[in-house]
Amino acid sequence: MKNILFFLLLLPFALFSQDAPKTDLFVVLTLDVKNGMEDAFEAAVKAHNTEFHAVAPYTAKLYYNINGPSGGMYSWIMGPMNYTAMDTRPKTDAHDDDWDKVTAMTNSVSSPSYWSMSSKLSQEVVGAPDSKRIIWMYDIKSGQSARWAELVGKVKKVYTEKRPQESIIVAWNEFENTKVGNDVVIIFPFGKWSWMDRESTFGGEFEEVHGPGSWHNFLNDFNSTINGRTDWLR
């Protein structure tokens, strides 16, 4: 028992004592725009991003969520960055006044969520089409995060060997909320809607990489690590 308590006391120190801050953090806001103001809102955000978020690590993009839990709303995403960069993020009077013009066109703005992209599990191909995205949000069972990541590593291997020109992005929620279950996302960027109509060949590719029968076993193992999944298009 003493050893367990000692480990728990050291855990925060281990989490916050990395050698150097990584630049894999994304800040996400969800904005519900007033009816009829979508065009003006998009123009205002574009101008705001150009003026205040054109230079790394504070670059920002705006996405429209087509369906899902935030369907009909927008996601404003800043990054990649790190927590250290938060100390000097844009927060001048000019920035804040301009952002107030943006939020004046909304019904609500969510509190920020923070997501860290996993370089180990992700394959981000520079120049690959990414104007549209499928989002898979997972609720991981307690104690199954490491196993889930191990299994997704097998998916990454298939992308590396069979789909080297396609991106797959895995990002972890930095702050737990076990009642909501928004633990981790897998993002599939693509460029044209026709991508959605293509025949699925991933199971066969998986077995070419990992051996006959491995796809069925993977699905069983993977499903045992999650409580559920929520999908949407962005």
pLDDT in tens, the chain (234 residues): 434 433 333 444 344 444 445 779 999 999 999 999 999 999 999 999 999 999 999 999 999 999 999 999 999 999 999 999 999 999 899 999 999 999 999 999 999 999 999 999 999 999 999 999 999 999 999 999 999 999 999 999 999 999 999 999 999 999 987 677 899 999 999 999 999 999 999 999 999 999 999 999 999 999 999 999 999 999
pLDDT of residue 177: 75
pLDDT of residue 186: 98
Predicted TM-score (pTM) of this structure: 0.88
Cα→Cα distances 172→4, 83, 150, 181, Å: 26, 15, 14, 12
Contacts of 146 (CB under 8 A, 6+ apart): none
Q: H or E stretch including 185?
A: strand 184-190
Tracing tokens 């369907």 back to the chain, one arrives at 71
pLDDT of residue 121: 98
Tracing tokens 């990454």 back to the chain, one arrives at 156
- Cα separation, 149 vs 145, whole angstroms: 6
Stated length of the chain: 234
Tracing tokens 């943006």 back to the chain, one arrives at 102
pLDDT of residue 176: 80
